[in-house]
């Protein structure tokens, strides 16, 4: 299992029966295909779709049916379509149980940077800034280090922030962390990862009190 599969398989455990869930662009979209068919979940997209299904097969592709990342998707029975204003009203009104978002950097204070790299061309900030304050719970998933081997789990973010202190849980290919009034807490280590390796690859300071009790 590669690092992305490890992250996705752990992230899907955050989704419970009856939830309304928003999946961010990129890695989080892969979570849709990992959700068990036995779980009744409504996936919401900020471009106006409630009831997103798995990625389509070649025969199922409908060019007009896309998610917020402009990827073709399927719609489950009972799905509904609406304009983006109503979609953002759902988000801002606190009707999304959990938002699973990608991250470029997360700080030890729960700050998130995930919308822009300075100097890179982008189409816009998307819905991330609304999701991090409107969703009841924010889970960020990302690889622990970047392609240069540098930690993406920082003492403070160097990239422009999406939100300050907004992350509830961080899932990487190495570990799971929660953000509490007592700071950043290690909750789980991925299979085969040692605490020493994690500390070496993590710039942020974190507590191991709860982890030690497991």
Catalytic residues: 46
* Number of other residues whose CB lies within 10 A of the CB of residue 192: 8
Q: How far is CA 16 from CA 13, 38, 193, in A?
A: 7, 10, 27
Rounded to 5 degrees, what angle do the CA atoms 168, 171, 172 make? 145
Dihedral angle of Cα 9, 14, 15, 20, to the nearest 10 degrees: -130
List helix spans (H) across 103-163. Answer: 128-134
């Amino acid at each position: 299992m590669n690092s992305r599969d490890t992250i996705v398989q752990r992230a899907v455990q955050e989704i419970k029966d009856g939830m309304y869930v928003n999946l961010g662009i990129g890695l989080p979209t892969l979570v849709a295909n990992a959700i068990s068919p036995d779980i009744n979940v409504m996936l919401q997209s900020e471009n106006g779709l409630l009831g997103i299904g798995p990625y389509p097969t070649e025969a199922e592709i409908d060019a007009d049916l896309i998610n917020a990342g402009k990827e073709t998707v399927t719609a489950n029975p009972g799905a509904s379509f609406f304009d983006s204003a109503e979609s953002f009203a759902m988000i801002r009104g606190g009707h999304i149980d959990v938002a699973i978002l990608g991250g470029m950097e997360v700080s030890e204070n729960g700050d998130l940077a995930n919308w822009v790299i300075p100097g890179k061309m982008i189409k816009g900030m998307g819905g991330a800034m609304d999701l991090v304050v409107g969703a009841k719970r924010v889970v960020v998933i990302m690889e622990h280090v970047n392609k240069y081997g540098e930690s993406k789990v920082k003492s403070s973010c160097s990239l422009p922030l999406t939100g300050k202190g907004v992350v509830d849980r961080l899932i990487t290919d190495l570990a799971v962390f929660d953000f509490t009034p007592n700071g950043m807490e290690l909750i789980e280590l991925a299979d085969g990862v040692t605490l020493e390796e994690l500390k070496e690859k993590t710039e942020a300071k974190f507590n191991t009190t709860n982890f030690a009790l497991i």
